[in-house]
Amino acid sequence: MPQDTLNQDFATILVFLVFGALFVIANMVLVGRLIRSKTKYTEGKSTVYECGEPTFGSAFVRFDIRFYVLAVVFAIFDVEVVFLFPWAAVMKSLGPVAWLEAAAFVGVLGVGLAYIWRKGDIDWIPAHGHTRQAGKTLPGELTTVPTDGVPAATIPAIATPAVAEAR
């Protein structure tokens, strides 16, 4: 009964998951709480750690759109990999036909890779040595300056001059 044992094996994974969860919770919540000494809560402990600089604005800022493209492309290639795994398993028995089938499949997706390559969506701009193109920002760069209740004058310039001009 191969299927029966298969499900039992997956059930074992579930047991292991529960074990892992218990392990984590015990370590994170219980053990420390029992042996740790009481400490005073001070205002400073609840501030954001930014190396001593006073923090400004919220950290929930919008970031670069190219991460979205990257995530889409990742999801698509992940599907490709998933399709190729069962193919790899039967590759030997099916022979040259299977090779051609997969080549066609990967070839079409290869066109997709070439397309994003050509369009520059997997180009990350070097931090130095090249002039930065107008309107482009580095990944993770704060493209909108958070303004919730903070006077504009107190906000240091985050965007680089080139970017500011483009806007």
Closest residue by Cα to residue 66 from 15, 20, 8, 135: 135
If the CB atoms of residues 3 and 152 are measured against other proteins, the closer one turns out to be 3
Structure tokens at 95: 């022979």
If the CB atoms of residues 50 and 165 are measured against other proteins, the closer one turns out to be 50
Minimum distance from residue 165 beta carbon to other proteins (Å): 17
Minimum distance from residue 105 beta carbon to other proteins (Å): 5
Is the distance from CB of 150 to CB of 56 less than 8 angstroms? yes
If the CB atoms of residues 127 and 157 are measured against other proteins, the closer one turns out to be 127
Structure tokens at 73: 């492309």
Minimum distance from residue 164 beta carbon to other proteins (Å): 19
With H, G, I as helix, E, B as strand and everything else as coil, classify residue 61: coil
CA gyration radius for the chain?
26
If the CB atoms of residues 48 and 150 are measured against other proteins, the closer one turns out to be 48
Is the distance from CB of 145 to CB of 155 less than 8 angstroms? yes
Minimum distance from residue 116 beta carbon to other proteins (Å): 6
6 vs 29: CA distance, rounded Å: 34
